[in-house]
Amino acid sequence: MPTTHTCYAAIDIGSNAVRLLIKKVKEDETVLNKRLSKVLLLRVPLRLGFDVFSLGEVSETKAVKLRRLMKAFRQLMKIYDVTDYRACATSAMRDARNGKSIIKKILKDTGISIEVIDGQEEARMIYNNHIECMADRTGNYIYVDVGGGSTEINLLVDGELQHSLSYNIGTVRMLSGAVREEVWGQMHDDLERLTEGLGEVNIIGSGGNINKLYRLAEKKDKKKLRLPVTSLQTLYDKLVPLTPEQRMDTFSLKADRADVIVPAAEIFLTIAKVVRSEYIHVPVIGLADGIIDSLYENKEGEN
């Protein structure tokens, strides 16, 4: 029987980096088995959040770079015969005064339509991407995605989604000194209230920083892909006193990771303390995967 391929693409315009993910659907008609497999992943550290959280808008220099990047992504999607795509912008573009005008110009120049999604939708999309891997989990989990501009949190009880929350606490926002103290307090109070009486609550971590922290940590459970909170604390204590340049040399980090990795660890440690977590589970997950999963599911629903 013939094998056919359909390709989907996701563009994730984050506060620290912009990503293009392309996955193909491999359909084997003999065994009726369909699966999504990664064809291409590109990550470009445009760092839009450093403009937005300090100046309130995206600078003209970065707006031009974003347009050029979208043109390049458009050509790559043509090369890979992408049949459907979705482009989503998150925290930085939500906050940017000139966000709408930039998106309008990108649509005119490239034909790419960008949606600015709110934090709640971002949280749900990230969670929904991994509902299958959660189906066999029992117990209580806080699903945490730490981005450059915001942190998305989902509370799961025996694999069932109970609450989706979003807070303007992110790595780039913290480095820009743009996180208000009351937002930390709100997150602390919400988590304390929602997890009261639940007993043990562990974290499922999402985002590039927690994946890097997991790889750098000396003590971890590789079989179960989980990082003890005590091990994360030890690594954090080693990272904090170093300059970004020293972190690059000592831990072989890229420049756009060396600064944001510390506030990311701080966010995870703060949440772990509030909900009394012992472990952080670290599957490789992200918003772009969630976007493609939703495209695939919508297409399947039409058939």
CATH architecture assigned to 3-118+288-302? 2-Layer Sandwich (3.30)
CB-CB contact of 126 with 285 (8 Å): yes
pLDDT beyond 90 at 293: no
Position of tokens 């090369």? 79
Answer yes or no: are the C-beta atoms of 149 and 170 closer than 8 Å: yes
CA distances from 127 to 45, 153, 163, 237 (A): 24, 9, 11, 30
The answer, yes or no, to whether residue 107 has pLDDT greater than 60, is: yes
Contact 127, 52 (CB under 8 A): no
Mean pLDDT value across residues 153-160: 84
Task: Determine the pLDDT at residue 2.
Answer: 42
Q: Where does the pLDDT of residue 118 fall: very low under 50, low under 70, confident under 90, or very high at 90 and above?
A: confident
Q: Distance between CA 249 and CA 252 in Å, rounded?
A: 5
Residue 32: is its pLDDT beyond 70? Answer: no
pLDDT at 35: 75
Q: Which residues have CB under 8 Å from 185's CB, separation 6+?
A: none
More confident residue, 213 or 30: 213
pLDDT at residue 196 in the model? 93
Q: Can you give the pLDDT at residue 106? A: 98
For the chain, the structural domain boundaries read 3-118+288-302, 131-284
Average pLDDT over residues 145-164: 89
The answer, yes or no, to whether residue 1 has pLDDT greater than 60, is no
Distance CA 222, CA 119 (A): 31
pLDDT of residue 285: 67
Intrachain domains 3-118+288-302 and 131-284 with the same fold: yes
* Distance of alpha carbon 238 from alpha carbon 124, whole angstroms: 34
Fold for 131-284, please state it: Nucleotidyltransferase; domain 5 (3.30.420)
- For residues 57 and 112, give the distance between their C-alpha atoms in angstroms, rounded to a whole number: 21
What single DSSP character describes residue 94? Answer: H
What mean pLDDT do residues 31-46 have?
80
pLDDT tens-place string over residues 181-227: 999 999 999 999 999 999 889 898 988 899 999 999 999 988 888 99
Q: What is the pLDDT of residue 130?
A: 58
Answer yes or no: are the C-beta atoms of 243 and 250 closer than 8 Å. Answer: no
